[in-house]
Amino acid sequence: MLLEKEREELIVYGKKMITENLTKGTGGNLSIFNREKNLMAITPSGIGYFDITPEDIVIIDVATGKIVDGHRVPSSECDMHRIFYKYRDDIDAVVHTHSTFSTTISCLNINLPPIHYILATAGIDVRCAEYATYGTVRLAKNAFEAMKDRNAALLANHGLITGGKTLKEAFSVALDVEFCSELFCRAKSMGEPVSLSVEEMTSMMERFKTYGKRVEEHEEI
């Protein structure tokens, strides 16, 4: 079976999409890119995440978009995943969610500002891509444009897309953006949220590169 490891990982994180409240029903999709083989594994269309089997995962040639292996219909957002694998060498996994608060902000067609430092896992802020019908090449191009120099983008009146070197990383970014989106919605109901500066967010992005790793130098307290 082609990309057996990738298939299993997609099943694990598909279930996490539901348990972590990042989507409902069969909404959203996930994929992993095997750069060596130039193939991507993507979740199928219209099957519940707890019902997907390894055989249901669809394998697609990134260069041509043709199905290499699989008897299911691939996610309708196949092109939105493929465009990142074709044109960005820093993304090998993509997560697309319909998470409540991120989607709420997307329905306002506004960017998510940097109201919390944790948003730096996505970038300085999260832009909102222009609206386009789901499953279209136009949506793929809009998402790609909005996510330049970022690891996440809101999709107007639709949802959220994130990317990373691994599926774990892309999924973590989706959780971070949803957390910050909820903060923004709650803060907005009480007043005007205060955004962090570009300088601070840039600093946070650098700090996150060594997060969880041993740091030898310490500042005097």
Q: How far apart are CA 104 and CA 86, in angstroms?
A: 30
Q: Quick check: is 192 catalytic?
A: no
Catalytic residue among 77, 130, 182, 217: 77
Q: How far apart are CA 138 and CA 162, in angstroms?
A: 18
Q: How many contiguous H segments (helices) and E segments (strands) does the chain have?
A: 6, 8
3-state secondary structure (DSSP) of residue 108? coil
Beta strands in the chain (DSSP E): 29-34, 39-42, 58-61, 67-69, 93-97, 128-129, 152-155, 159-164
Q: Which positions are annotated as active-site residues? A: 77
